[in-house]
Structure 1
Amino acid sequence: MQTQLRNGILIAFGELFLKSEGVRKLFQRRLINNLCFFLEKEKIEFKIHSFRERIFVETNQALKAKKIIKRIFGIAWFSDSFYFFDLKELIRFIDKNYKKYIKKGESFAIRMKKDRKVIDRIAKLIDRKVNLDRPKRELFVEQRDKKHFLYFKKVKGAGGLPVSSSGKVLSLISGGIDSPVAAFLIAKRGAENVWLHFHSFPLVSNASIEKTKELAQVFKKYQPNLKIYFVPFQKAQLEIKAKVPAKYRILLYRRLMFKIAEKIAEKEGCDALVTGESLGQVSSQTLPNIKITEEA
């Protein structure tokens, strides 16, 4: 006989609501794929239940799973939740257990759409004061495909769109903060990242290479897989330095980097380059110089 009560985490989508039915289904599958990748990577035992507007992750390792779910793009909010196969089981559970969640003297409110009769039925079981405007505790009840969910607190998710749902980009990662932040933000909009880092080792130390690798370890907590190109640039730098006046060198470096980046982007099937440029931050990032660079 099937167990009537299941524990886990209920997940609500963010902007997926705004998409057409076909696109929403595609994005939802991508979100589920990303969820499965990260949960499996951490060796969490789980089962996915998919609904039109929700995902339920059935697991007995909720504390560990929530740390992962919190950083997955495409999730508006999530909550510890109980999953019931019928309404009677839900009502019996509330009757027996509400004192664990609503202490004596605390007010409460039941949040449930449409079914006023069910709300009244549950409220009569709870020997606590009702306060719909400013309750101390809230009970959220949802019905999905004749199944019922009960949860008590929503936790804000990472938002955005599922990674790999909005195409692929090549991000140029430098030694500063702007480029990895740009890569993060474009990933939050659903783009899959490939990284490209130009370095001058052994002309200088390999510090920028190591820093990029460290950043990649953090970034891979948000994107399932990350491919990185490390391109040696010291020979080109030395040649430009020998032939070009100092005031033009940085622009020439950047133009050449863009040409190389375009070739790699074409090879990888990327739809755009992400540079992380910040207007006016350095001399090469004025509008005229950015224009010259992008004409490469």
Structure 2
Amino acid sequence: MHASVVLLVRYGEIALKSTYVRRHLEDQLAANVRDMFAANDVECVVKTERGRLFVYADDEVAALKLLRRVFGIVSISPAKEALAKLETLTTAVVDYARPLLAAGQTFAIRPRRSGQHPYTSQDLARVLGRAVLGAIPGLTVDLDEPDVELNVEVRGPRAYVFHEIASGAGGLPLGSQGTVLAIADDEPGMVATWLVMRRGCRARVSGRDPFLATLRGWDPRLATLDQMPVAVLVRLAAEKGEPVVLPTLDFAASEGETPFVLRPLAGFSRDELTNLTRRIRER
């Protein structure tokens, strides 16, 4: 595959884990990205490097949309890839800046480096800033509140230039924290299930089609169960020794509950529930 764009994928909690656990979670995250793209018939190539995933794709809009629905991803940036050699990188940054900047605007270069290079981050900011100023007349540097921030991330022999940082779903990769049973026959049930999925759990869900379809947009491998009353689902969870997710909005106990009951919506206000429902349904 000859990809036309690379997307820098950042994660949060994963980076804080031990080396062994981090590698496991990175592998799970990469596999989930591939699953999401394959389920939506979008081609991609995924490469893993500590602290980052690099996703190569032809359709930037579709790729960004799908990556925002993969749990474990904190943010995404479509980027231009270049060699880290200063002369080559300077040309790439100027070419990238031309369609973004015009006379009268302000900008800033935000460099970051990982690895050994014959220049410092300050050198990089100075050289690239001067090059952009010389190529596009009428610009001004503003390090505090620029109109456009040009981010330059140098990692070993490669460099990545970007200006957009899109938020991701956050959380942990699906499949990294076991399996739960859940019920999603209304909006609270759908939101409760989503919150547990966001913490890395695969859910087997009993519910109605509109809510199951929404959840499947976040997990192409979503497993479904026949519709059943809450009491039956709780008994099933007890029999199988699996946690069960219930959508109640308070801390009140229900008859027949077991120690495996999870209530992720406990303490949520109605407004918080409504806002989260809207976010989950965004496409």
Scaled to the shorter chain, the TM-score interval is 0.7 to 0.9
Letter in 1 for 2:111: M
In 2: Cα distance, 1:149 partner to 1:53 partner: 14
Question: Do the aligned residues in 2 keep the contact of 1:169 with 1:191 (CA within 8 Å)?
Answer: yes
Partner residue, 2:163? 152
- After superposition, the C-alpha distances for 1:188-216 in whole angstroms (9 at most, x for unaligned) are 1111111135xxxxxxxxxxxxxx12211
State TM-score, norm by structure 1: 0.76
Instruction: Write out aligned runs for 1:127-146 (5 A).
Output: 127=133, 128-146=139-157
Identify the match of residue 198 of structure 2 among 176, 184, 188: 188
Contact residue 84 and residue 154 of structure 2 kept, 8 A:
no
Equivalent residue in structure 1 for 2:246, among 275, 278, 281: 275
Q: Is the 8 A contact 2:197 2:203 kept in 1?
A: yes
Q: Distance in 2 between matches of 1:25 and 1:142?
A: 22
Q: Is the 8 A contact 2:39 2:220 kept in 1?
A: no
- The residue aligned with 1:262 is 238
Look up the match of 1:218. Answer: 214
Indicate conservation of the 8 Å contact 1:9/1:81, yes or no.
Answer: yes
Query: Does the CA contact (< 8 Å) of 2:233 and 2:244 recur in 1?
Result: no
Contact 1:195 1:227 in 2 (8 A): yes
Letter in 1 for 2:215: F
Q: How large is the RMSD of aligned CA atoms in angstroms?
A: 2.3
- In the aligned structure 2, how far is the partner of 1:185 from the partner of 1:231? 20
- 2:35 maps to which residue? 37
Deviation at 1:231, TM superposition (A): 5.4
Aligned equivalents of 1:144 and 1:26: distance in 2? 22
What's the counterpart of residue 163 of structure 1?
A: 174
Q: Which runs of 4+ in 1 moved over 3 A?
A: none
Residues of 1 paired with 2:233 and 2:56: CA distance? 47
Q: Which residue, 121, 126, 131 being the options, matches 1:125?
A: 131
Max radius of gyration: which structure? 1
Once the two structures are superposed, the pairs formed by residues 1-296 of structure 1 within 5 Å of their partners are 7-87=5-85, 88-113=87-112, 115-127=121-133, 128-173=139-184, 175-196=185-206, 212-230=208-226, 254=231, 257-263=233-239, 265-266=240-241, 270=242, 272-279=243-250, 286-287=252-253, 290=254, 292-295=255-258
* Distance of aligned partners of 1:295 and 1:93 in 2 relative to their CA distance in 1, 3 Å threshold: closer
Q: Is the 8 A contact 2:186 2:211 kept in 1?
A: no
- Compute the displacement of 1:13 (Å): 0.7
- Relative to 1, partners in 2 of residues 1:260 and 1:83: Cα closer, same or farther, differing over 3 Å? same
Contiguous gaps of at least 5 residues in structure 2:
113-119, 134-138, 260-283
Structure number having the greater helix percentage = 1
Structure 1 unmatched ranges of 5 or more: 198-211, 234-252, 281-285
Separation in 2, partners of 1:193, 1:13: 22
- The count of residues paired between Structure 1 and Structure 2 equals 245
Q: TM-score, normalised by structure 2?
A: 0.79
Q: CA deviation at 1:97?
A: 4.3
Measured in 2, the distance between the counterparts of 1:6 and 1:115 equals 27
Instruction: Tell me the distance in 2 between the aligned counterparts of 1:39 and 1:156.
Output: 18
SS at match of 1:159: coil
CA deviations over 1:208-236 (Å, ceiling 9, x no partner): xxxx1221111111113122221567xxx
Structure 1 contact 13–74 (Cα < 8 Å) conserved: yes
Identity over aligned pairs, percent: 23
The separation in 1 between residues aligned to 2:42 and 2:228, in whole angstroms, is 40
Q: What secondary structure is seen at the aligned counterpart in 2 of 1:34?
A: helix
Shift of 1:161: 1.1
CA distances 1:17-54 after superposition (whole Å, capped 9, x unpaired): 22122111111111111110111222222222221111
Show CA shifts across 1:146-202 (max 9, x none).
2111101111111111111111111133x33222211100001111111135xxxxx
What SS class does the counterpart of residue 56 from structure 1 fall into?
A: strand
Amino acid at match of 1:181: V
